[in-house]
Structure formats: C-alpha cells, structure tokens
C-alpha cells in the first residue's frame, strides 16, 4: 500500500476498501481492537492517496468514492467506543 505499486483499478479488483471496512466492522461488533489501528492506517493511506490525485484523475477516482465513504460510519462509531487513544486518533484522521 505504502509503495503505491497498486493502481486504483487493482485496489478495486482486490476489494481492499471493502475488506478493510468489513474487518473494522467485525472488530467493532465484537469489541476487539487488535487490528483496528492497522486497518485505520490503510484507510488513512487510501484517503491521502485519493486526495493527491483527485484533480488529475477525477474520473478514475469517482468509481471508488462510494466504497471509501462506507468506512466513515465505522470511523464515527470508533470515536464513540472505548478504545485506545491511538485508535480514536486514527479514526478521527480518516474523518478529516
């Protein structure tokens, strides 16, 4: 993810956003937090990457908008749960 070797098309094909969302949702439902911080790092990285190219590749990115927005409700829930401060901070970064 960090090396940016995966194209936006590959990210969609591998369903990275959806899988991340599903994992966070499951962890939240089960009150587990062992991988939420890593998943939030992935979400934040994706959001930052989309932000970098939104003006030059708007058409390609528009296909991913609905996928990435599905993560926002989970991030809002993480803010209201009783998790470690690092998780709450990362959830808020994804919302910004």
Model confidence over 38-54: pLDDT tens digits? Answer: 888 888 888 888 777 77
| Number of domains present in the structure of the chain | 1
pTM equals 0.56
**Gap between the Cα atoms of 39 and 23, Å rounded:** 8
The confidence score (pLDDT) of residue 56 equals: 67
- Which domain, by its residues, includes 88? 8-95
In a domain, 86, yes or no: yes
Please report whether residue 3 resides in a domain: no
Asked if the structure places residue 53 within a domain, the reply is yes
Please indicate, yes or no, if residue 1 is contained in any of the structural domains.
no
DSSP string over 68-96 = HHHHHHHHHHHHHS---HHHHHHHHHHH-
Whether 88 is in a domain gets the answer yes
Per-residue pLDDT for 55 more than 70? Answer: no
Which pLDDT belongs to residue 60? 65
What pLDDT is recorded for position 66? 66
Q: How far is Cα 82 from Cα 4, in angstroms, rounded to an integer?
A: 33
Q: For all residues of the chain together, what is the average pLDDT?
A: 80
């Amino acid at each position: 993810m960090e090396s940016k070797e995966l194209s936006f098309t590959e990210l969609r094909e591998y369903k990275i956003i959806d899988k991340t969302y599903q994992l966070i949702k499951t962890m939240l439902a089960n009150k587990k937090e062992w991988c939420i911080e890593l998943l939030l790092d992935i979400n934040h990285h994706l959001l930052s990457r989309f932000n970098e190219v939104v003006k030059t590749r708007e058409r390609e990115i528009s296909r991913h908008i609905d996928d990435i927005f599905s993560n926002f409700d989970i991030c809002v829930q993480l803010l209201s749960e009783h998790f470690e401060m690092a998780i709450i901070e990362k959830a808020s970064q994804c919302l910004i």
